Amino acid sequence: MLFSISDKNINSFNGDITLIFVVNGNFEHVNVQDKELLEKISFKAEQDEVFHLVEKQRLYVGVSSLDTGLLRSASAAAIRSIFGKSAYKHLSMAPCENLDEHSIQAICEGILLGNYCFTRYKSKPIISNLEKVTIYLKDCSNPAEKEAIQNAINNADIIANATNFSRDIVNTTPDDCYPEILAQIANELCKNSALECNILKIKELEQQKMNAILAVARASRHDPCVIHLMHKPTNPKYVVTLVGKGLTYDSGGLSLKPSASMVNMKSDKSGAAAVLGIMKAIGELDLPIEVHGFIGAVENMIGGDAYKPDDVLYAKNGKTIEVRNTDAEGRLVLADVLSYAQQEVNADYIYDFATLTGACIVALGAYTIGIMGNSDAPKTLLKNASIPSGEIVTELHFNRFLKKLIKSEIADISNVSSSPYGGAITAGLFLSEFIEEENKDKWTHLDIAGPAFVEHTWGENPHGGSGAGVRLMVNLLQNLAK
Residues with catalytic roles:
257, 331
Confirm if 417 and 403 have CB atoms less than 8 A apart: no
User: What are φ and ψ of residue 27, in 5° steps?
Assistant: -95, 15
Confirm if 232 and 196 have CB atoms less than 8 A apart: yes
How far apart, in whole angstroms, are the C-alpha atoms of residue 91 and residue 442?
A: 45
| Proportion of the chain in helix, strand, coil states, percent, rounded to 5 | 40, 20, 40
User: What are φ and ψ of residue 352, in 5° steps?
Assistant: -115, 145
How far apart, in whole angstroms, are the C-alpha atoms of residue 13 and residue 58?
A: 12
- Count Cβ atoms within 10 A of the Cβ of residue 33 and give its class: 0-12 exposed, 13-18 middle, 19 or more buried: exposed
SS3 221: coil
How far apart, in whole angstroms, are the C-alpha atoms of residue 366 and residue 238?
A: 32
Give the dihedral sign, CA 462/465/469/475. negative
DSSP 146: H
How far apart, in whole angstroms, are the C-alpha atoms of residue 262 and residue 370?
A: 23
**Residue count (the chain):** 482
Q: H or E element: which one contains 340?
A: helix 330-344
How far apart, in whole angstroms, are the C-alpha atoms of residue 114 and residue 462?
A: 7
How far apart, in whole angstroms, are the C-alpha atoms of residue 470 and residue 76?
A: 17
